[in-house]
Amino acid sequence: MSAERAQRKKERPAEPRGPTMSEYLPEVTNNCVSPEDAEEELLKECESIWKHMEKHQSKLLLLGTEAMLESDVKLCMLMMRVKALMAEYHQWQNRSPDLISTNPDVLLELGKEELQKVKNDLEMVLSIVQLKNKKLEEDLKREQQWHKEQELILDTLTGIEEETKIKIQQLPKTSLTARAFQELQNKVSKLRMYKEELLDALGEFLEEHFPLPESDGSAKKENSSEEPDVELITLNEILEILIGKLMNTPHEPYVTIDDSFWPPYIELLLRYGIALRHPEDPNRMRLEAFHM
């Protein structure tokens, strides 16, 4: 079988060599062309080369079709495929890339267009980076300002602590100490009584001028037939909750707003600067630190 195939290959006349790559390339001209004309000319050259490749591919397929046994068809096709891929691999390894077009005007216009695209992409990246840098600079200034404020607070507290220690050390360990302690207790008692009077007066004022929206002090949710009414709390109770939270846990003074807080009361406190909303969670608020 192989001997007959070799004999037929010897008797087969040699195929005429097709035109080279340079025959399909246009002549070099010095006329300037637009990017659209350059692309159109380049596409025409690619189509011409592709047709030439299809022509030779069809010839190779016709030369490879020979009578053989059915059992050897698949093996033979795979072997031919391997040989073709190996030949193509070695050819690509040994050759250097050639330019499809040698027209300098075409290459110049295509290069300008590609450089313009790269320039636009780089300008976009630059603008994004500049915006990020600007935001980082603003964050840095804000953090530095906060750091300075914390240092001032720390220095003030340290000074107060030192003064208190000095005063404690200077106190005599005699009956004067007991007398001073008694005076302090009397002042504390007076302050507590004054605080209770202020709270009572505030409660009466709020109860008179800021009553609850309904007589039974409740607000109905949607689908009231399914869910029970929510008991509203007075404005005085809201202020007591905010004050207690601020005094007991000053590091975490925010209170969660639930359905028992009447929205008009919340809006009133926020609008007049009595309370502040959490910067990240709108469902939490805190009392303004008037004592700081």
95 against 119, higher pLDDT = 119
**Chain centre to alpha carbon of residue 257:** 29
Nearest partner of 276 among 253, 260, 292, judged by Cα = 253
When the pLDDT of each residue in the chain is averaged and rounded to a whole number, the result is: 77
At a CB cut-off of 8 Å and minimum separation 6, what does 71 contact? none
Percentage of the chain exceeding pLDDT 70? 74
Query: Dihedral through CA 101, CA 107, CA 110, CA 113, nearest 10?
Result: 170
pTM for the whole structure: 0.34
What is the per-residue pLDDT across 261-290, written as a single tens digit (0 to 9) for each? Answer: 999 999 988 998 889 999 898 899 998 877
Which of these ranges, 12-21, 56-65, 111-120, has the smallest mean pLDDT? 12-21
- Token readout for 87 is 């030949």
Helix 104-170, helix 35-64: angle, nearest 10 = 110
**Chain centre to alpha carbon of residue 155:** 39
Confidence of residue 72 (pLDDT cuts 50, 70, 90): low
Would you say residue 4 has pLDDT above 70?
no
Q: What is the average pLDDT across 40-63?
A: 80
Confidence of residue 143 (pLDDT cuts 50, 70, 90): very high
